[in-house]
C-alpha cells in the first residue's frame, strides 16, 4: 500500500513539471511530501540529493530519487510496524554508523589542505637522518642447516664451511667457490653476490658481520637460521638517501595523523564522560 501511494503521486503531470520549482522556491523546512503522516521537507530531501550527487535541475533523476526515497521510508516504517526486527539493535547499529560517518566526514573536512607541500618539504629537510640508511655490498657462500638436522650432521656441515673458508684464505676465488659450493642457488649463479644490503634489514648477526668487514675481507663461518654463511664485503659502507618524492606520501600521512591526533585531543578535552559505578549490575538486570 505504501509503495502504491508513492507511485501514484508520480502519475500526476503537475508534479513532474514543478519539481525543480518546488525545490528552488520553498523556504527551509517546507514540506514536499509525507510518509505515514511524517513530513518530508525540502532540506531533508536536498541533503539526500547532495549525498547521491544528483543535481536539482535534472528533473527525471530528481523525480526517481524522490520516489525511491519515499518508498524506502515507507518500507522502513512498514517493517518496524511488523515488529519482526529488534528495533533497539537496529537503532544501535544505525547509531554506530552515524557516529563513524560523522567522525570520518569531520576529519575529512578538518584535514583538507592542513598539510601542504611546503610542510612536507620542511619536515623532510629537518629529519634527513630518518630517510637515510647505511648499506654495504656483500657476497656469501651458504651451506644450509635445516632446523631438524641432527647435531652430527650439523657438525659435518660446519666442518665443510671451515674447509671452504681455508680454501679462501689460501687464495681460492670466492666467486668460483660460491658457484660450485653455495646452496643459495639465486646468489650462487652470480658468484654469491647479494647486492647492497641495508643495516639491520636482515639477520642481526649477518648484518653485524657484513658491516664490520673491510672491503674484500672474508668472514669466518657464521650461523643464522638459514645455515652457515661465509661473507665477503664487495663494496664498503655507503649512506643512501631516499629522495623526497619517494617518501612524500609517508610524510603526508604522518603529518596528517599528527594534526588528527591534536584535533582529537582538543575535541575530547571538552567532553564530559562518566560511567556509573554500578553499571554492571544495571546491565545484568536487563538480561
Q: Using alpha carbons only, give the angle 75, 76, 81 rounded to the nearest 5 degrees.
A: 95
Would you say residue 253 has pLDDT above 60? yes
Owner of C-alpha cell 656469501: 140
Would you say residue 9 has pLDDT above 60? no
d(CA 187, CA 179): 8
The pLDDT score that the predictor gives to residue 29 is 56
Residues with Cβ within 8 Å of residue 99, at least 6 apart in sequence = none
- Beta strand residue intervals within the chain, DSSP E: 31-35, 38-41, 132-144, 193-198, 222-224, 227-241
The pLDDT score that the predictor gives to residue 217 is 96
Would you say residue 6 has pLDDT above 60? no
What confidence tens digit (pLDDT) does each residue in 117-142 have?
Answer: 999 999 999 999 899 999 999 999 99
Categorize the per-residue pLDDT at 201 as very low, low, confident or very high, splitting at 50, 70 and 90: confident
The conformation of residue 219, written as its DSSP 8-state character, comes to P
Residues with Cβ within 8 Å of residue 131, at least 6 apart in sequence = 124, 241, 242, 247
Q: Please tell me the least confidently modeled range out of 184-188, 200-204, 224-228.
A: 200-204
The pLDDT score that the predictor gives to residue 19 is 52
What confidence tens digit (pLDDT) does each residue in 211-247 have?
Answer: 999 999 999 999 999 999 999 999 999 998 999 999 9
Domains recognised in the chain with CATH numbers: 2-85 (no CATH), 133-241 (3.10.50.40)
Kindly report the number of other CB atoms within 10 A of residue 19's CB atom: 19
Would you say residue 4 has pLDDT above 60? no
Q: Which residues pair with 233 in a beta bridge?
A: 138
Amino acid at each position: 500500500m505504501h509503495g502504491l501511494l508513492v507511485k501514484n503521486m508520480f502519475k500526476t503531470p503537475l508534479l513532474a513539471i514543478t519539481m525543480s520549482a518546488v525545490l528552488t522556491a520553498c523556504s527551509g523546512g517546507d514540506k514536499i511530501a509525507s510518509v505515514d503522516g511524517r513530513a518530508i521537507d525540502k532540506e531533508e530531501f536536498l541533503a539526500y540529493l547532495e549525498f547521491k550527487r544528483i543535481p536539482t535541475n535534472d528533473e527525471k533523476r530528481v523525480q526517481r530519487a524522490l520516489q525511491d526515497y519515499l518508498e524506502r521510508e515507507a518500507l522502513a516504517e512498514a517493517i518496524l510496524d511488523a515488529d519482526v526486527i529488534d528495533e533497539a539493535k537496529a537503532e544501535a547499529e544505525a547509531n554506530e554508523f552515524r557516529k563513524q560517518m560523522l567522525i570520518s566526514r569531520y576529519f575529512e573536512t578538518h584535514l583538507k589542505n592542513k598539510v601542504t607541500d611546503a610542510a612536507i618539504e620542511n619536515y623532510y629537510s629537518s629529519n634527513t637522518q630518518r630517510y637515510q640508511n647505511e648499506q654495504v655490498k656483500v657476497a656469501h657462500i651458504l651451506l644450509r642447516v635445516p632446523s631438524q638436522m641432527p647435531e652430527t650432521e650439523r657438525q659435518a656441515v660446519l666442518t665443510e664451511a671451515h674447509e671452504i673458508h681455508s680454501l679462501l684464505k689460501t687464495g681460492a676465488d670466492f666467486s668460483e667457490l660460491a658457484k660450485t659450493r653455495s646452496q643459495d642457488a639465486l646468489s650462487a649463479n652470480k658468484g654469491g653476490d647479494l647486492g647492497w644490503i641495508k643495516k639491520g634489514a636482515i639477520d642481526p648477526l649477518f648484518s653485524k658481520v657484513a658491516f664490520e668487514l673491510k672491503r674484500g675481507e672474508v668472514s669466518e663461518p657464521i650461523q643464522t637460521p638459514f645455515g652457515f654463511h661465509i661473507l665477503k664485503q664487495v663494496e664498503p659502507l655507503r649512506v643512501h638517501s631516499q629522495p623526497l618524492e619517494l617518501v612524500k606520501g609517508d610524510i603526508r600521512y604522518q603529518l596528517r595523523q599528527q594534526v588528527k591526533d591534536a584535533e582529537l585531543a582538543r575535541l575530547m578535552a571538552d567532553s564530559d564522560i562518566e560511567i556509573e559505578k554500578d553499571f554492571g549490575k544495571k546491565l545484568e538486570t536487563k538480561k
